[in-house]
Amino acid sequence: MHSRFRSDRRLTTRMGITLFLLGLVYVGFVAALIVLLKSWVLVVVVAAAVLGAQYWFSDRVALFAMRGRVVEREEYPDLHGVVDRLCAIADMPKPVVAVSDMDMPNAFATGRNPDHAVVCVTTGLLRRLEPAELEGVLAHELSHVAHKDVAVITVASFLGVLAGLIVRFAFYSQLFGGGRRDQNTAVVFAAVMGVSAAVYAVSFLLIRSLSRYRELAADRAAALLTGRPSALASALTKVSGDIARIPTKDLRTAQAFNAFYFTPALGREPGVARLFSTHPSLEQRLDQLGRISAELGEAAAPGGV
């Protein structure tokens, strides 16, 4: 499937490198656990089950976690109309359309491929944005689907779950499995914990780096598809400002899914933590959209906002 979203070779290259490096890390991780735990069946079965479940059911998990539900055209005709129009322009399959009943203004896309994808917006986003702004946000999310980076980030983001689950299984197998509880057991358990921590740290850095770039790539692709980068910039400014006013306690549940959102669920701009953020700063995103607007001569174009 080749959509009319402008291809991004740098994004494709980064996704390939990230998956290759993560693959090496996790092959090494699984091999180390097999050596340490002396049970390849446990390690391989759990690893395969977690990865398979995440790949096939990530869209359902994300919708459930964010209280999203699939909506039909009769219930949200305007929303479906925008998605229909963008998919026709982009020449791509229409994803499932969902709405989350949350006041936090945001949107996300998930799914294993363009034929099995979901685009979800919150009611808070629908209440706040003008039609042109909503179109920009939805084009951004559809770009993630078309470029397949949503599938890559879905698998990559949840691979860290594998480390935690295997450690937990190892712990309980030692606790209730009737094995020897001696110094050797303690050494093995400490080694498993150390390997898992190292794997998580490397994965964390690789995924954050890819996530920041893919958000800039999606902004760029959406602006070029719609021809209205200023509308997307307006949506970014509005959504980021409104999220900053939502109490942090109300954002905590959503923060686990920051890598998937249009803008991160943060109460304020991070300081040093920006280096580990899932998204580039608002200033970076607006600067890029400003350059695209100048290139397109949008200010002089009819209908510019």
240-292 residue pLDDT tens: 888 877 666 556 666 666 777 888 876 555 555 566 788 999 999 999 999 99
What's the confidence (pLDDT) of residue 146? 92
What's the confidence (pLDDT) of residue 190? 74
From the candidates 141, 269, 283, 295, give the one annotated as an active-site residue.
Answer: 141
Residues of the chain with pLDDT under 50: 1, 299-305
Give the global pTM: 0.81
User: For 256-281, where are the alpha helices, taking DSSP H only?
Assistant: none
Q: How many residues does the chain have?
A: 305
What's the confidence (pLDDT) of residue 9? 87
User: CA dist 280 to 125, 130, 206, Å?
Assistant: 20, 24, 15
CA 25 to chain centre: 20
What's the confidence (pLDDT) of residue 78? 96
User: CA dist 82 to 79, 89, 297, Å?
Assistant: 5, 11, 24
144 is in an annotated binding site: yes
Burial call 273-289: b when 16+ CB within 10 Å, e when fewer: eeeebbbbebeebbebb
140 is in an annotated binding site: yes
> What does DSSP assign to residue 261?
B
Has 141 been annotated as catalytic? Answer: yes
